[in-house]
Structure 1
Amino acid sequence: MKSLFDSETHTEILNRIDNLSESSQREWGKMEVGQMLRHCQFPLKVALGKHTIKKPNFFMRLLYKGFKKSMYNDKLWKRNLPTAPGFKVEDKKDFKEEKDKLVALINDFHEERTKKTRDPHPAFGELTYDQWGQMQYKHLDHHLRQFGV
């Protein structure tokens, strides 16, 4: 599995984002391209300690534990998976503004590639260094494929 901590993968993701435009159309799902760019910022903000999410209740922790490995393994996510409530973006977003913010967060995350430990993820608990980098890549890859880049 690729990792956003890897320099080649970091460059690949930035190039794919650069291939998006305001007129990019989704191949599945409900979000427009500006909404997707905003949505992709949330997991990066969580990883960087810039956004907090409510810790899940007991039932939800069990549910998250069941699909934790899918967050960083090589198997592609299915189309139209449900979005975590705190990461939903329903209002229209400015493409350029959201693209610039996402690129800045991707660069910030990549710059932290020497940071070997992080606080536990609020939903998934302890993650290794590799799992953090892989999870961020996988989420971005999923949504960039959603828009054909």
Structure 2
Amino acid sequence: MMKHCTRWNDWVLGNGAHSYRQEFLGKLFGKMVLKGMVKDDKPMKKNAPAGIFTIKEQNGDIQDEKKIWLAQMTAYENFSNPEFIHDFFGKMKTEDIGIFVYKHMDHHLRQFNA
């Protein structure tokens, strides 16, 4: 889960080489789904698809991933990635990215009662 979150944050923050493009179904339904997700403070639903960020590795250094994750959360204070296009939601307002990032992190922390 931590590796999923750190790789996902790298994608949103623009760390590394990422190609950003919206999928076809996202072009049809993405904005509608995003609007429903960011309109209130309800947590993300369980079993949301992870897409390209599905991680099946069972090894790694949890302490290193934790340090990376904490640094990434701090990096959101100065978020600036104008190239970011969510693969389903498409181009997002900075405020919507902030809400979505919060809900994504909250979703995974709740998984482990953290």
TM-score computed with the length of structure 2 as normaliser: 0.77
Distance 2:113 2:24 in 1: 37
CA contact (8 A) 2:43 2:106 kept: no
Q: How far 1:120 moved relative to its partner?
A: 4.1
Cα distance, 1:131–1:67 mapped onto 2, change above 3 Å: same
Per-residue CA distance 1:111-135 (angstroms, 9 max, x = gap): x15x5x7234242222222112111
Deviation, structure 1 residue 66: 3.7
The equivalent of 1:81 in structure 2 is: 48
1:71-123 Cα distance to aligned partner (Å, 9 max, x none): 43322222222221x1111011321111111111111222x15x5x7234242
The one-letter amino acid paired with 1:81 is: A
Q: How many angstroms apart in 2 are the aligned matches of 1:107 and 1:46?
A: 15
**Which residue of 113, 117, 139 maps to 2:104?**
139
Q: Following superposition, which runs of at least 4 residues in structure 1 exceed 3 angstroms of deviation?
A: none
Give the SS at the match of 1:91: coil
- 1 CA distance for matches of 2:54 and 2:49? 9
Question: Scaled by the length of structure 1, what TM-score is found?
Answer: 0.62
Change (3 A) 1:129 1:59: closer
Residue 59 of structure 1 deviates from its aligned partner by 3.0
Q: Tell me the secondary structure at the aligned position of residue 82 of structure 2.
A: coil
SS at match of 1:40: helix
Pair 1:121 & 2:88 matched:
no
Q: Which runs of 5+ in 1 are unaligned?
A: 1-35
Aligned twin of 2:76: 109
Identity of aligned residues (%): 30
List per-residue Cα deviations over 1:13-56 (Å, max 9, x = no partner): xxxxxxxxxxxxxxxxxxxxxxx111112332122212525524
